[in-house]
Amino acid sequence: MTHSDTSEDLKCYMLLVAIIFHYHGLDEEEKVILEKKASEKNAFEELNWAYDFIAEDYMTAFERARVYLKEAKESLDKEKRLRYINDTWIANGEKGYITEMEATAMLKLAKDWDVDKELISLVQQLA
């Protein structure tokens, strides 16, 4: 965890990664990647919070996450928002593929955070 990642910041990060991994239903491989991300950032409490957030109502979880993350946008600088969404893209790719629905969902979230053009640029560099 960097000194600038508060617990609230990490809630946003873990929710971002978890909501994308839950998009098609969380499988074992995705769960391992999520736990690795939580371990890297010492954010297991925040990951459990994200799991609870999603479990509250699985069917509306993505839209509720969009609302939550839009509100949190004000407390995250643009560089951090871009880093979080780009890391989510990379983490999602660790399973070997990114579905069109997952990519679309991440782009919606990036647009909500005003970092969609920057994310597209970073993704194109990875390709």
Is residue 7 within 8 A of residue 46, CB to CB? The reply is yes
* Exposure on the CB side of residue 122, measured as CA atoms within 13 A: 17
| DSSP helix/strand/coil, 63 | helix
- pLDDT tens, residue by residue, 24-63: 889 999 999 999 999 999 999 999 999 999 999 999 999 9
Q: Is the pLDDT of residue 109 over 90?
A: yes
From residue 91, alpha-carbon distances to 35, 57, 75, 78, 97 in Å are: 11, 24, 23, 20, 10
pLDDT (tens digit, 9 = 90+) per residue, 81-96? 999 999 999 999 999 9
State the Cα–Cα distance between residues 77 and 96, nearest whole angstrom. Answer: 30
